[in-house]
Amino acid sequence: MRSYLDHNATSPLRPEAKAAMLAAMDCCGNASSVHGEGRAARKLLDDARDQVAQAVGVIAPMVVFTSGGSEANNLALKGAPVQRLIVSAIEHPSVLGVAGKAAEIIPVDSSGTIDLAALENLLKGPKALVSVMLANNETGVIQPVAEVVRLAEAHGALVHTDAVQALGKVPVNFGLLGVDMMTVSAHKLGGPSGAGALIVRDGLALEPLINGGGQELRRRAGTENIPAISGFGAIARSTTGNVKPLRDRLEAGLECAVIFGRDATRLPNTSCFAAPGLRAETLLMALDLEGIAVSSGSACSSGKVAKSHVLAAMGAAPEISQGAIRVSLGWNTAEADIENFIAAWRKIASRHKARAAA
């Protein structure tokens, strides 16, 4: 029996998402066409937009469908009417890659939480867009986004939050956070890959990345992927369930491990940890051979095990962070999966100790 514990990379497709996608595949119309088939496709699109909007507490026209979280992040950062970009040091590569060397970086403390005092100093100057993720994809640490908004408003800045990892795991409400833009994605909570959305505050003018058509209220040209968007809509309000006891059981079963972000408020499904002397590459291969699927951090690095910029920003010692792995639970995680992991971890750790003593 294999245990899949890499839901922060992508979560297995939920049955309701698959059913919605299969039904949408029988619809041959283009949602921009006015004939009967086109109107049928438009209804599927509108229904999914309503479902995603309800999931984050907004009105449907604020939802701009994209190909995923990375595109939505690019649209937010490149399309915002600002002069500067201020981003946290622990953002997803699709934010840091857009921001580039010219961006101003908000540091984090050893727990992985952003430094609000540093942000306040950075806000002094021309109009900026601040991008701070709601929950980190590697450590699960939840960021004080509402406080970021409060500081930004005092300086006339806009705020974007990447909520891809948070949706379905903790309550996410656009209005309560007070942000101007929010990124969400389907495949992290059991929907299909290739479907995401940028939630845009009503009245905020945004320069599109893709031009050529009037789709998405002229904010994102291109024929909409109706099957993927329908699958997204079907699971937009789904949750992982109460997985925190399982995560806590897993962490209690670890021996001699450093758990990153343990003292901060974290997602209930995520644990990032390392054991001295064990390298991530070795652990990933050994766990895979034991039937356990986990990762070493962000899944957006072409399958490579690379140094974590998140742990580096937290000040983690290189000899520890080089062995960091991430376990992330999801909607179909069971107690047996946790016990399988603990048994495999102890077996690998014991083998390592024996070799070190030889």
The catalytic site residues sit at 300
335-357 vs 280-289: helix crossing angle, rounded to 10: 120
The greatest distance separating any two alpha carbons of the chain, rounded to the nearest whole angstrom, comes to 75
- Assigned token pair, 136: 């980190």
- Assigned token pair, 145: 């986004």
> 140: Cβ–Cβ under 8 A, 6 or more apart, which residues?
8, 165, 261, 266, 267, 269, 270, 271, 272, 328
Residue entry with tokens 């499904």: 269
Give the residue among 49, 76, 75, 71 at the shortest CA–CA distance from 62.
49
- Assigned token pair, 143: 């960021």
Looking at residue 148, its amino acid is V
- Given a contact cutoff of 8 angstroms between Cβ atoms, the answer to whether 163 and 196 are in contact is no
Tell me the backbone φ, ψ of residue 104, rounded to 5 degrees: -100, 130
Encode 71-91: b = buried (16+ Cβ within 10 Å), e = exposed.
bbbbbbbebbebebbbbbbbb
- Residue 120 CA to residue 144 CA, distance in Å, equals 13
